[in-house]
Amino acid sequence: MSSGQQSSRLLDPKVLSKLSGLYLVAKTVVEGFISGLHRSLYRGFSVEFAGHREYVAGDDLRYLDWKVFGRTDRTYIRVFREETNVKTHLLLDISRSMEYSSGPVSKKQYAIWLAACLSYLMISQKDAVGLVVFDTDIRRLVKPASTTSHLHHLLSNLEHLPGGTTTSLSSVLHLIASNIKRRSLIILISDLLDEPEEVIRGLVHFRHHHHEIIVFHILDPAELEFSFTGQFQFLDMETGERLDGDGLALRAGYQKAMANFLHRYQKQCAANNISYARAITRTPFDYFLYQYLSLRARTF
């Protein structure tokens, strides 16, 4: 097995569930991700010049040092030292619906791992990372920092999250948006089980403060497929409401409603220049790390 294949396997949530400790999970994921990542993407985003390195196929030609090429007839890429002025706020939804799981990993667990991995990656890139944990209100707030000890602090917070209640996503988003003044990267990790228009309005609030937003929409495969057959008494995990019905009978309508729900988010996010990524709890994490890095490279 190659190292690349091995690292890819380690990014699988099923494998990660066997690891103990968030730090270990985050380190395993990020290091594995980085080792397999194309070199050009994993670089600093600072404007301070750090030196040259030899061009390899696939490098961005924007960073090719044409002067050196003119003088030496050899291709070199300019490498810059990273800056730590990008602040990232991880907004983590811990409402009770996030605890739903049709497999070994719940949406909440997946969201925590994702937050941990992103934190690890960002801090390893010297970016400052903060954390806001919320359900109907803000339950925990960690201000952004970029030190290694801060990473441990973040991970410790993520490991010991309180139990959530119902969701009131839009109001919380408005609340957070009004408290973050400086231009930042906002990463929302949630199942977004609220009215899409309201949620989008909250996100747009961030856009008004010139924040960049990435939305990781956490979903369980069962929430998409709804492959239940037989008679069930469905129990709403947040409200406790009950509904009797046959899985098979409800499936088509459910899938249609869900597709509409997702489509509305996708469409609204695109309309408001918000990055939107659907995160199904069996999706390997490299996809999201790449998503982050891609946006980071494009924006900052």
Partner 1 sequence: MNFLQPVFLWALAGAGLPVLLHFLARKKAKPFPFSTLRFLKISQLTTGRLRKLEEFLILLLRVLVMMLLVLVLAGPVSRRAIGFLQEQLVVLVLDDSYSLRAGEPASPWQQTRQAALTVLASLRKPARVALIFTSGRTTGLTRNLEEVGQTIRDSQATFSSGHLQTALEQAQKILARRTGSRILFVFSDLQRYAWKDLSLPEAGREGISVVVVDTGQKETNNVGLKGLTLLPAQGLCQAEVVNWNQSPVTVEIQLQAGQVEKKSLTLPARESQTVQFKLSRSPGTLRVQLIRPDLLPEDNTYVLHLAPGENNRFLLVTGKQESSFYLETALAAFTAPAQLQVVSVDSLTRISLSDYQMVFLCNTGRWQPEAVRSLADYLREGGQLIVFAGEKDLPENFNSDWELREEKTFLMPARLEELVTFSRPAGVIWGENRHPFFAPFGDRLLEYLKTVTFHQVFRSTVLDGNVLLKLDRGLPLLLEGHYGAGSIILCPFLPDPAWTNLPRRPFFPVLVEIMMQTLTSGASPVVFPGQAIQAPAGTESLQAVSPDGLAETVSASGGAPIKFFPEKPGIWQFSFFRQGTTRTRTVAVNLDWREGDLTRQEPASLRECFPGARVKLIQAGNLERYLTGEVTSGDLSPVMLALLLILFLLQVAASNFLHQKKDRQEPLVSSFHGGSQ
Residues that bind partner 1 (CB under 8 A): 97-98, 100, 107, 191, 193, 219-221, 223-225, 227-239, 241-246, 248-259, 261-262, 266, 269-270, 274-278, 280, 283, 287, 291
DSSP-derived secondary structure for 42-95: SS---SEEEEEEE--TT--GGGB-HHHHHHHS--EEEEEE-----EEEEEEE--
* Euclidean distance between CA atoms 81 and 144, whole angstroms: 21
Neighbours of 167 (CB within 10 A): 24
* Euclidean distance between CA atoms 174 and 206, whole angstroms: 8
Tracing tokens 């994993």 back to the chain, one arrives at: 42
Q: Cβ of residue 74: shortest distance to partner 1, in angstroms?
A: 38
Query: Nearer Cβ to partner 1, position 120 or 276?
Result: 276
Q: Cβ of residue 236: shortest distance to partner 1, in angstroms?
A: 4
Query: Nearer Cβ to partner 1, position 56 or 259?
Result: 259
Query: Nearer Cβ to partner 1, position 149 or 233?
Result: 233
Asked whether the beta carbons of 214 and 291 are under 8 A apart, the reply is yes
Report CA torsion sign: 255, 256, 259, 261. negative
Q: Cβ of residue 227: shortest distance to partner 1, in angstroms?
A: 7
Query: Nearer Cβ to partner 1, position 124 or 170?
Result: 170
Q: Cβ of residue 277: shortest distance to partner 1, in angstroms?
A: 4
Neighbours of 277 (CB within 10 A): 18
Q: Cβ of residue 216: shortest distance to partner 1, in angstroms?
A: 10
Neighbouring residues of 295: CB distance < 8 A, sequence distance ≥ 6:
185, 212, 214, 275
Q: Cβ of residue 291: shortest distance to partner 1, in angstroms?
A: 7
Q: Cβ of residue 194: shortest distance to partner 1, in angstroms?
A: 10
* Euclidean distance between CA atoms 219 and 222, whole angstroms: 8
Query: Nearer Cβ to partner 1, position 31 or 99?
Result: 99
H-helix or E-strand spanning residue 132: strand 128-134
Query: Nearer Cβ to partner 1, position 24 or 248?
Result: 248
Query: Nearer Cβ to partner 1, position 24 or 270?
Result: 270
